[in-house]
């Protein structure tokens, strides 16, 4: 393993003003997104949609440091035969790959899940590296509810995340470690804070046990945020303050950067929260975005599956990427949204 190389890639992934596009929706998830814009989810339509994003010169070259791909997408070629991976590289962005194989029910833990996909991961990583992937992603899902999460679910998922991360580094691939505490539910921000703190502490404990080099990884956590169904929604300032406090308590300074998931926040919320955290400043790691829906909802709507709307889709994508790029430097203002509209 060449740690200098891994660190160089990790640092590039969280470069100031840039963030990561999560374009790794599973077939089921992208079908839901396409249903919403009345587009049939065929392999060709999925390819055309993603090609539109990766050919968006402004967004990709200025504001996107890397792209997380789904297994189907990494092997696809653009309409003109160019591998989609090459389009990403040509824009100066880094191709990455989602390697987990989804979740299964966790035995003896009703309502809790464990992420699977470690079997044969070493062989898969070799193939992905040959295809051009330089980082990977694995998502653990922790739900908050009555009596959950259990320490069992937290431990099992942290262990799998660390095993995955160690295998990635052995394959010369930077792992994005994503322990997601879901924002579904009626819990308040303090409950989210407590659970996420336990999850992060356990995850870093496992990463150390399994000898993962922290300088060669990127963390992708949730923010400390109120549950969607909570009557009292925390303000932007409170989300920023509590998230930063939580991360300072749990995340070693050796980690080059933290790229947040949007986790069901609206486009503008996800941007405002990231911006407020960066305005606090004085942080040991870079804070940026690794958004899926919060970067793509607008371009999907603008494109709506029509080739004549490609330019409009690319403009919508460039705008959201630009806003989040500013937020990653603490330079965003809500007025900039109105201007573009």
Is-catalytic flag, 62? no
Mean pLDDT over 115-121 rounds to: 98
267-280 helix and 293-303 helix, angle to the nearest 10 degrees? 140
Residue 55 sits in which domain range?
3-340
Catalytic residue among 18, 98, 202, 220: 220
Catalytic residue among 25, 51, 178, 206: 178
Given pLDDT bands bounded at 50, 70 and 90, which one contains residue 338? confident
CATH number of the domain where residue 77 is located = 3.20.20.70
Confirm if 102 and 57 have CB atoms less than 8 A apart.
no
**341, pLDDT greater than 80:** no
Is there a cis peptide before residue 149, judged by omega within 30 degrees of 0?
A: yes
Given pLDDT bands bounded at 50, 70 and 90, which one contains residue 340? low
User: How many structural domains comprise the chain?
Assistant: 1
Question: Is the model's pTM score more than 0.75?
Answer: yes
Is-catalytic flag, 338? no
3-class DSSP state of 147: coil
CA distances from 219 to 90, 125, 245 (A): 26, 19, 16
Q: What is the pLDDT of residues 203-232, one digit of tens each?
A: 999 999 999 999 999 999 999 999 999 999
Q: What is the pLDDT of residues 186-199, one digit of tens each?
A: 999 999 999 999 99
């Amino acid at each position: 393993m060449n740690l200098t190389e891994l660190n160089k890639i990790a640092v590039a992934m969280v470069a100031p003003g840039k963030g990561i596009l999560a374009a790794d929706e599973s077939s089921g998830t992208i079908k839901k997104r396409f249903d919403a814009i009345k587009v049939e989810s065929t392999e060709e339509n999925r390819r055309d949609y993603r090609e539109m994003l990766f050919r968006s010169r402004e967004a990709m070259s200025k504001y996107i440091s890397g792209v997380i791909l789904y297994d189907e997408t990494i092997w696809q070629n653009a309409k003109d035969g160019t591998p989609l991976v090459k389009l990403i590289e040509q824009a100066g962005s880094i191709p990455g790959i989602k390697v987990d194989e989804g979740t299964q029910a966790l035995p003896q833990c009703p309502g809790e899940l464990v992420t699977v996909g470690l079997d044969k991961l070493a062989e898969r990583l070799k193939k992905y590296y040959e295809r051009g992937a330089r980082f990977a992603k694995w998502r653990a899902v922790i739900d908050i509810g009555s009596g959950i999460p259990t320490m069992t679910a937290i431990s099992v998922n942290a262990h799998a995340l660390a095993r995955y991360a160690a295998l990635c580094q052995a394959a010369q691939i930077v792992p994005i470690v994503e322990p997601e505490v879901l924002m579904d539910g009626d819990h308040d921000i303090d409950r989210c804070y407590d659970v996420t703190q336990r999850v992060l502490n356990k995850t870093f404990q496992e990463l150390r046990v399994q000898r993962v080099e922290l300088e060669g990884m990127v963390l992708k956590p949730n923010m400390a945020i109120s549950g969607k169904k909570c009557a009292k929604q925390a303000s932007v300032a409170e989300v920023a303050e509590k998230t930063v406090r939580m991360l300072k308590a749990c995340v070693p300074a050796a980690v080059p950067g933290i790229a947040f998931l949007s986790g069901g926040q609206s486009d503008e919320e996800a941007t405002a929260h990231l911006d407020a955290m960066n305005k606090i400043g004085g942080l040991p790691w870079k804070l940026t975005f690794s958004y899926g829906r919060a970067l793509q909802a607008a371009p999907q709507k603008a494109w709506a599956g029509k080739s004549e709307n490609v330019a409009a889709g690319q403009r919508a994508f460039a705008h959201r990427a630009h806003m989040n790029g500013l937020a990653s430097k603490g330079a965003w203002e809500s007025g900039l949204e109105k201007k573009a509209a």
